[in-house]
Amino acid sequence: MRNNECFDVTIIGGGSAGLFAAYYAGMRGMKTKIIEYHHDLGGTVSVFYPDKYIYDIGGIPKISGRDLISQIKEQAFRFDPTLILGQAVEGLKKMEDGLFKLTASSGETHYSKTVIIAAGPGLFKIRRPKLKNIEHYEDKGVHYEPKDLTGFAGKCTAVFGDVQSSCRMAVQLSKTARHVYLICSRSGSKGLEKEMEELLKANVEVKCPCTVTGLYGDKQHLSTVTVESTDKRKIENLNVDDFIISQGYHFDLDPVKNWGFSLNGRRIPVNEKMETKIEGVYAAGDIAGYPNKWRLIASAFNEAITAVNSAKARIDPSAPAQVYSSILMDN
């Protein structure tokens, strides 16, 4: 006997496509589970576009990424899907009885009648610099891509990473921090030149071109960042309270490949029903690939609906092919 509960559909990915798929699966009366690699929902919209406006949602002239995800989350959880956070799906296997066994990075197993892959561009992982003992100071003074800068008020902070994003972060920090260092590995960058005037006005101390060569402190907290000029003529020790790294992310699609899919342009090929080559497994959002695809959030919503309807038809052939309207749902 299998102790694990079996779901009608398991959605891999908790971004905009995955959340909308969960909502629509709830409308179709399906027992739904969402498995998300990160410790929060929202996917690429939450990470990369939280404060940018989105204009391609029907009936909404414009909405910030943060507000969009907030509303989709509210919509998705109307039907109480089961949520698993902080787990990467490492194994996806179709068993002899037709059910799917999903094995997570934690070792936990999940069982489902159908699967919808809504993994966006893949698992996005923070780029970490190769610095000795950096892991000792993570969450003890070393921070990666922080979204909330209020905790750095009154502190001496160094920022290192991608020129444009680190420049913007340094300027924002300078409004409340005691002192801000901006460490850039390249000089003459257009991004830096465009924002240099604003940086000077913001009283940010620029170390450029320099690279970070060492991190030092006690077992409790980071206290010093060592920087060296790229010509190796000058070494400085910067006394800091916090060190922020903003080098962006890289996208990992190896788990998808390990599930048995051959990718076409970093996407899983699907047909008009959002079906993959594995019967019972569907894809929606950025990860789904088909001719003349439009990379719009509005398109991802439609793909999610199609994937859910296909999954519903597989587990219950007698059910209506689709729900034509949700107007009559209770408020």
Domains of the chain: 6-125+250-315 (3.50.50.60), 128-247 (3.50.50.60)
Q: Is 286 annotated as a binding residue?
A: yes
pLDDT of residue 184: 85
Split at pLDDT 50, 70, 90, the class of 24 is very high
Query: Was 301 annotated as part of a binding site?
Result: no
Pairwise CA distance, residues 89 & 96, whole Å? 20
Answer for the pair 160, 183: CB distance below 8 angstroms, yes or no: yes
pTM for the predicted model, two decimal places: 0.76
**Taking 80 as the threshold, does the pLDDT of residue 49 lie above it?**
no
193 a known binding residue? no
| Burial of 112: CB neighbours in 10 Å, binned 0-12, 13-18, 19+ | buried
In tens, the pLDDT along 263-295 reads: 888 899 999 999 999 999 999 999 999 999 988
The reported pLDDT for the residue numbered 187 is 57
* Rounded Cα distance, 223 and 240, in Å: 5
Q: How confident is the model at residue 327 (pLDDT cuts 50, 70, 90)?
A: low
| Annotated binding-site residue? 281 | no
Judge contact between 216 and 132, C-beta under 8 A. no
Amino acid, single-letter form, for residue 14: G
Annotated binding-site residue? 49: yes
Q: Which residues of 167-195 are buried (b: 16+ CB within 10 A; e: fewer)?
A: bbbbbebbeebebbbbbbbeeebebbeeb
pLDDT for 1 equals 33
